[in-house]
Amino acid sequence: MNSRTVSKEASSGGALPNALALTLLLPLTLLLAGAFVTPILVLIFESLFAPHLTFEHYAKGLTQPLYLGVLMRTIRTACVVTAMCFLLGYPVALVMSRQKGRRVIYLAACVLIPLWTSVLVRSYAWIVLLQRKGIVNTALMDAGIISEPLKLLYTDAAVMLAMTHVLLPYMILPIYSALIAIPPDLDKAARNLGAGPIDSFFRVVFPNSLPGVYAGTIIVFILALGFYVTPALVGGPQSMTIATLIAQQTTELLNWPFAGALAGILLAATLGLVSVFGRFLRIGKGV
Amino acid sequence: MQPRKAIDWGRLSLNAYAAAVLVFLMVPSLLIIPISLGSEPFIQFPPRSLSLRWYLELIRDPAWIASFLFSLKIAIATTVMATIVGTLASLALVRGRLRFASALQVLTLAPLVVPHIVIAVALYLVFAPIGLTGSFLGFLIAHSMLSVPYVVITVTSALQKLDPSLEFAALSCGASRPKAFLLVVLPNIAPGVAAGAIFAFLASFDEATVSFFISGVEGKTITRKLFEDIDYNLTPVIASVSSVILLISILLMLLVERMRRPTTQD
């Protein structure tokens, strides 16, 4: 190696020259352009030009009572699931943040293992629990609480319950990271100044954990809006969401322009939420 | 004299509530395992007698084996592809000085937030006419795109923790860039790369929505086969397949945790 090259590398402070950086980014750019951006643009194109520019498919999705009902149910489900995730998840994050050493790892495993267990397996588990002769009905009948099996599966409630189960880790993890970032001295100081544990929690700890709450809320809400597998398996024909409607339009009715429009609406809602609340986001399965 | 410590009911009920939620998180999936060990031709809990009947049925069924091997092949190839592409890109994102790098980083993470149903129908729309549905290549492309964000997240965070002066020192001593990368940078970020690779494997192997849409009659992943069977014939074989998938996920997650915390302090 000659001294000229060495001095060039040295003068850049070890940073990559632009040509090299571009080369390194090329495979990723091709992958995202080819497998992500282009297909989505083709789908949106399909919904807008059939063959001339038209918004009729978007209008249909947003105005016809049948489809408007599906949209409303999707939003309602996402709201309920997000609220349940918060109510169930916050105390878990709080308890986790107060543990030390090995116990943190055990608790984290309880959150991370479900997160990385296939959504299909977890939805199947709820089918086994909730079906007509399932574990819940059998237990309730054996206990003499009910005499006839209840219809639990293929209902809106089943979808909400199973989705809460699937999405809960996405709420716990960001709240946990926000909580462990709060210096423990803050709580101690509040207590020394005479605040009780509840007072100190609501006036010191909780307000400081809000960034994590916002991050968890927005990611759970976004994932719940577009969730497909769980509503498709656990929900019935009456509990259709926008994702299962898109699937039905493509696989059964082959109505691509309308499916494209519904996908466009869902995409716009998602990107809208990300652009407004994106600064709170720390995405990715707890990676 | 120390005052006797009163029972902290507040803390106790908080811990009990959290424990109940963790049970709610863990138990439904774990229930699958005893169910898969039942011997009756229908789902029974608790099983009256234990048997490996449904596992034997599983390994004797060529359709399950074919879809399992297909998924495995896709997941391994995806892991290699996503890890290489993601690691190279992370180097440029962390050590480069390109202006549009932050925009590209946002785009890289986009497949994590854009609903998979949108990606799935979009990929089906462009893959079907060119014969990529149900094909290994189609899955490799789709799953690499879905998995690469995990690699980029873990590798960029490993690179950010690595002191750039190490690489700089190697370069100043006359090492070429590839040599400095292989001998200095890579060994230091190896845990991050390995974690990213495991996440990429799981993201591909467990992926359900996109696989559902781009599977074919022949080229079918295990998630697509599972999806169909849960919908149409709910036999205990599904419990045994689910248990196998569950155990693979648990083992790989434990591996990641082990790598992340090589020394645990109590």
Distance CA B14, CA A94 (A): 9
Cβ distance of B150 and A284 shorter than 8 Å: yes
Distance CA A159, CA A74 (A): 11
Name residues whose C-beta falls within 8 Å of residue B200's C-beta, 6 or more positions apart in sequence: B78, B79, B82, B83, B86, B147, B148, B150, B151
Smallest CA–CA distance, residue A213 to chain B, in Å, is 17
Smallest CA–CA distance, residue A42 to chain B, in Å, is 7
Smallest CA–CA distance, residue A65 to chain B, in Å, is 23
Smallest CA–CA distance, residue B122 to chain A, in Å, is 5
pLDDT band, very low/low/confident/very high, at B263 (cuts 50, 70, 90) = very low
Closest B-chain CA to A229: B209
- Between the CA of residue B201 and those of A59, A110, B45, B166, B244, what are the distances in Å? 41, 21, 32, 30, 15
Closest B-chain CA to A31: B145
Would you call B80 exposed, middle or buried from its count of C-beta atoms within 10 A (0-12, 13-18, 19+)? middle
Under DSSP, the state recorded for B171 is H
- Between the CA of residue B106 and those of A134, A274, B87, B103, what are the distances in Å? 44, 11, 16, 5
Tell me the pLDDT tens digit for each residue of A124-183. Answer: 889 989 988 888 888 888 888 888 888 888 999 999 999 999 999 999 999 999 999 998
Chain B residues 139-198 with CB within 8 Å of chain A: 141-142, 144-145, 148-150, 152-154, 164-165, 167-168, 171-172, 174, 176-177, 195-196
Q: Give me the amino acid identity at A131.
A: Q
Tell me the pLDDT tens digit for each residue of B216-245. Answer: 888 899 999 999 888 877 788 888 999 999
B49 close contact with A: CB closer than 8 A = no
Distance CA B159, CA B223 (A): 34
Q: Taking Cα atoms as reference points, which of A144, A52, A281 lies closest to residue B153?
A: A281
Q: Which of B93, B125, B132, B260 to mutate to test the interface with A (most CBs of A within 10 A)?
A: B125
Cβ distance of B252 and A10 shorter than 8 Å: no
Distance CA A160, CA A88 (A): 13
Least CB–CB distance from A114: residue in B25, B110, B168: B25
Q: Do residues A229 and A15 make contact, with C-beta atoms less than 8 angstroms apart?
A: no
pLDDT band, very low/low/confident/very high, at B265 (cuts 50, 70, 90) = very low
Closest B-chain CA to A285: B150
Complex ipTM value: 0.88
Q: Do residues A221 and A273 make contact, with C-beta atoms less than 8 angstroms apart?
A: yes
Least CB–CB distance from B96: residue in A21, A42, A112: A21
SS3 B91: helix
Tell me the pLDDT tens digit for each residue of B118-177. Answer: 999 999 999 999 999 999 999 999 999 999 999 999 999 999 988 888 888 888 898 888
Tell me the pLDDT tens digit for each residue of B60-98. Answer: 999 999 999 999 999 999 999 999 999 999 999 998 888
